[in-house]
């Protein structure tokens, strides 16, 4: 059998759990911001593995660091000190609000760690009645049992009830609703600085600052889920840095390893009693390979001019997409920050647009039924963005 797209689709459907609705292509090679499928078709990658491959594909310094590390030591467990882990933790601490980092393997696992930290913190401080975590409507925090309870989307919870208790949801962007929901039982507010899966929803001006003030006044912890917005995606190393706020806890994953699975919980010394010795662990968390990847990613993002480049390319992308929106009546809004950009359609068109754009040779990601997300590698060039938007216009025109 030729190992083409059709053959791989058949193999997947035969043996892999049917949890994903997959597009009928199998990607077999990547270089820079291009990927190729098993039929040899080339795509401009404006999905980056859903905001993961921040340095594109086969980025030479990342390939070199991974192959060097693989030939030395991959894994020994957290029974011992892991120099690569210490280096990455120190780098993240140096460039954020945090004093400590717990490493894990994914966004959901990072959020699980944050949830445990919050609960234990209040217990250690003599306030066991504070157990409730408030999250936002249309949020997304992961697919584990506790994180689907935290996620305020019915489609994610459906079929898995009864879920762990202690989560309450309020509308995103509404400080008054948050105030009303807070009480003596409130332990934390957990929030994405920009909602990703919810449709690239930006908070109203000064909302996050008001949330921070409210949390500090009420003795409530502020947990930022930066699994999607973190690691340069919005044009700052972390999205909270745009807002002039300081969280107690912040979670990362996706872009941190540039494609190698890694997650992290960053937190201040003030709340470190929430994760005391023996309270939490993860076999693979912070292993050599993942942390070697993380070092390359963070050092690249911090290199002179890199984040400025993300900002200017993001502005260009939004400008180009807005021009398309003016030419075509189907689009209601183009919004985003840095290279996290959403195009909202007036109707439920996102699955068709993503599929039509794939035909044109561009990968994007839907967020719900109306929003198409552009989350390209942060190293994408202006020429590639222009070409991607040209093909986007052609794809949407075809649908219109």
Contact residues toward ligand PLP (CB under 6 A) are 106-108, 111, 140-142, 192, 196-197, 225, 227-228, 253
Residue closer to ligand PLP by CB (options 27, 108) is 108
Q: For ligand PLP, which residue has the nearest CB? A: 107
For residue 257, give both structure tokens. Answer: 């390893």
The token pair that represents 297 in the structure block: 């990613």
Partners of 372 in beta bridges: 343, 366
Q: Closest distance between ligand PLP and the C-beta of residue 50, in Å?
A: 6
Residues 6+ apart with CB under 8 A from 208: 191, 193, 240, 243, 245
Q: In whole angstroms, how close is the CB of 327 to ligand PLP at the nearest point?
A: 31
Considering beta carbons, is residue 186 or 228 the nearer one to ligand PLP? 228
- In angstroms, give the least distance from the CB of 108 to ligand PLP: 3
Closer residue to ligand PLP (CB): 38 or 47 = 47
Report the 10 Å Cβ neighbour count for 295. 19
CB of 19 to ligand PLP, least distance (A): 12
Residue closer to ligand PLP (CB basis): 228 or 234:
228
Nearer to ligand PLP, 5 or 251 (CB): 251
Q: Please identify, using beta-carbon distances, which residue of 371 and 396 lies nearer to ligand PLP.
A: 371
* Nearest CA-CA partner of 190 in 115, 127, 271: 115
- What is the secondary structure of 148-211 as a DSSP string? HHHSB-HHHHTTSPSPPS-EEEE-TT-HHHHHHH--TTEEEEEE-SSBTTTTSBPPPTTHHHHH
Among 50, 55, 76, smallest CA distance to 65 is for 55
Residue 125 contacts residue 273 (beta carbons within 8 Å): yes
CB of 244 to ligand PLP, least distance (A): 21
Output 96 or 105, the one with its CB closest to ligand PLP: 105
Query: Residue 77: which residues within 8 A CB-CB, separation 6 or more?
Result: 283
Which token pair is 50?
A: 């859903």
Whether 263 and 237 have beta carbons less than 8 Å apart is answered as: no
CB of 389 to ligand PLP, least distance (A): 24
Segment (H or E) for 135: strand 132-136
Nearest distance from C-beta of residue 72 to ligand PLP, angstroms: 27
């Amino acid at each position: 059998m030729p190992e083409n797209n059709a053959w791989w689709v058949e193999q997947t459907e035969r043996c892999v759990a049917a949890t994903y609705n997959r597009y009928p292509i199998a990607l077999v090679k990547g270089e820079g911001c291009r990927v190729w499928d098993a039929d040899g078709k080339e795509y401009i990658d404006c999905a980056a593995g859903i905001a993961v491959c921040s340095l594109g594909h086969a980025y030479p310094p990342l390939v070199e660091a991974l192959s060097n590390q693989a030939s030395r030591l991959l894994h020994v467990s957290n029974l011992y000190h892991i120099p690569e882990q210490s280096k990455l933790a120190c780098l993240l601490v140096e460039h954020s609000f945090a004093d400590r980092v717990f490493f894990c393997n994914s966004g959901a696992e990072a959020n699980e760690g944050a949830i445990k930290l919050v609960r234990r913190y209040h217990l250690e401080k003599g306030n066991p009645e504070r157990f409730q975590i408030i999250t936002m409507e249309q949020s997304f925090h992961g697919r584990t049992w506790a994180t689907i309870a935290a996620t305020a989307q019915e489609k994610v919870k459906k079929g898995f009830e009864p879920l762990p208790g202690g989560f309450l949801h309020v509308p995103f962007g509404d400080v008054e609703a948050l105030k009303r929901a807070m009480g003596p039982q409130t332990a934390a507010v957990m929030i994405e600085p920009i909602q990703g899966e919810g449709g690239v929803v930006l908070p109203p001006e000064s909302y996050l600052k008001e949330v921070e003030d409210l949390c500090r006044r009420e003795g409530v912890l502020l947990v930022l889920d930066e699994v999607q917005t973190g690691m340069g995606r919005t044009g700052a190393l972390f999205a909270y840095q745009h807002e002039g706020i300081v969280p107690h806890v912040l979670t990362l994953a996706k872009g941190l390893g540039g494609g190698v699975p890694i997650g992290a919980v960053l937190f201040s010394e003030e709340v470190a009693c929430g994760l005391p010795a023996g309270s939490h662990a993860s076999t693979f968390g912070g292993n050599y390979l993942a942390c070697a990847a993380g070092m390359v990613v963070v050092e690249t993002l911090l290199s002179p001019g890199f984040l400025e480049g993300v900002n200017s390319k993001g502005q260009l992308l939004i400008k180009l997409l807005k021009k398309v929106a003016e030419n075509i009546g189907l689009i209601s809004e183009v919004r985003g920050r840095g290279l996290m950009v959403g195009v909202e359609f007036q109707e439920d068109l996102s699955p068709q647009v993503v599929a039509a754009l794939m035909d044109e040779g561009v990968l994007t990601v839907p967020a719900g039924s109306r929003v198409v997300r552009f989350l390209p590698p942060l190293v994408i060039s202006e020429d590639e963005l222009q070409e991607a938007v040209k093909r986007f216009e052609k794809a949407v025109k075809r649908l219109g």
